[in-house]
Structure 1
């Protein structure tokens, strides 16, 4: 009798979750897609209806030529890729040390290292420091800012994951004559694939979509990222009420994020299942 009562619940919960995702994610996504296909006149009042005149190619041509889309995507890539690589590398190294070493002082350093998860970055201080270092208004300054702001999050996530790795693997590598650097890159780093993929997705989403910190560091220069260019053309009365152009820009800017998410999501699933089998 109990099993008969549980059977409907097995179907109700997945259906409810699917409907919830369709409403929360599907409706806004559909609105963005159909609006990007519409003409300027038809997009004055965004709705879920299909366009009567399909105008996507013209909209894309306009945002590419007047919205500096490719230039913004280029600098977003130049800034995002080094940021996630530095975060994954330095964060994993620091997390390995924190997870394997003990002592009061190292515990204090760990607490300081992860304090950035809770403490908000001071944008004025950040801008002044970058100016003193000569990095204000350069991609290197924005890369340094992103790396410093999110290093605490990477250390926090990776440290907990390293503690689940058997220390006997490192001891075996040491017996075979491997030093700390070789042990890290040959043993530890390959095992950190799932957690690195997770923090990479988080950092890519932030660095790619961020406009606030990018505005203070590289705003008004030729190194403007895609969100800055979108904000610039939208606030310059160029795209006012032209929702078709705005959504066309947003869709083009989101394509690299979708690709990264799909690729890394598969790595996360494969890493978790392989670890469970082992």
Structure 2
């Protein structure tokens, strides 16, 4: 019976992940008439490329794609750099104040931000409706995730490697950049995937902070789906979802390669 358990797990994973993926791709490749009632049946005539082209030209996708990039890229870079440095310090200190700071730093994982308060604060600072304000909101939300994952990973790294670098005359920044940071590639790849996934697909916070002043891909999809262009055009809506998911798939592919490289080359020698 135990021989069938791995196969059952693989089959269950394929069903859970494969069926929704097939539903999206199949519906995106159908004509308008076939997609009125989305189901798992394949399209009689694949029109996926034509639907993607129509979405790209008529759905204001390039401007929304640029808006998403302007928010996601700085958010991920700042969160990784600042979060990993803070996590390294918190992991290497063992005082009571460090424990308090660590608890405060990861509290954002379980404590949701007050949206109304955040919006009012951004208005007082003159950052409401701006890219800077949106990046600040995301950093405040997801910095806790970076610190939580990286801190746990740093604690598994022996301190002897850092001590050897300090004996050779390296300062704290040099130790972090030359010794610690290369070893963090596996966990940084994981955190990159998580933060990109959260920020790229976010509608809730973007709607209240930059909604109406700047387009991101999820906001643009919400707007055009609520208007007349995509009304009952499920083939275009699902084509938009496919188009919006392609950058995330590219990030996942790159991060997976970095994850494997980090595991094999980032070990203590």
Q: What TM-score, normalized by structure 2, do the two folds share?
A: 0.95
Which of 65, 68, 75 is equivalent to 1:76? 68
Q: CA deviation at 1:87?
A: 0.7
Matches for 1:160-175 after TM superposition, within 5 Å: 160-175=152-167
Structure 1 position 9 matched with structure 2 position 13: no
- Cα deviation code 1:29-50 (max 9, x no counterpart): 1111111111111110112222
Paired with 1:93 and 1:55, the residues of 2 have a C-alpha distance of 48
Which of 195, 202, 205 is equivalent to 2:197? 205
State the SS of the aligned residue for 1:172. helix
Find the counterpart in structure 1 of residue 252 from structure 2.
261
Find the counterpart in structure 1 of residue 182 from structure 2.
190
- Cα deviation code 1:80-129 (max 9, x no counterpart): 11111111101111111111112122221111111111101111111111
Matches for 1:101-140 after TM superposition, within 5 Å: 101-140=93-132
Q: Structure 1 pair 243/77, CA: closer, same or farther in 2 (3 Å)?
A: same
Find the counterpart in structure 2 of residue 58 from structure 1.
50
Gaps of 5+ in 2: none
Structure 1 position 248 matched with structure 2 position 239: yes
State the SS of the aligned residue for 1:50. coil
Find the counterpart in structure 1 of residue 226 from structure 2.
235
Aligned length: 269
Paired with 1:237 and 1:152, the residues of 2 have a C-alpha distance of 40
- Cα deviation code 1:184-239 (max 9, x no counterpart): 11111111101111111100000100010011111001x21000000001111331
Please give the root-mean-square deviation of Cα atoms over the aligned residues, in Å. 1.6
Paired with 2:103 and 2:19, the residues of 1 have a C-alpha distance of 42
Which of 200, 206, 220 is equivalent to 1:214? 206
Structure number with bigger Rg: 1
Gaps of 5+ in 1: 1-7
Q: CA deviation at 1:273?
A: 4.1
Q: CA deviation at 1:163?
A: 1.0
Paired with 1:71 and 1:44, the residues of 2 have a C-alpha distance of 28
Paired with 2:237 and 2:160, the residues of 1 have a C-alpha distance of 55
Q: CA deviation at 1:277?
A: 8.4
Paired with 1:51 and 1:114, the residues of 2 have a C-alpha distance of 47
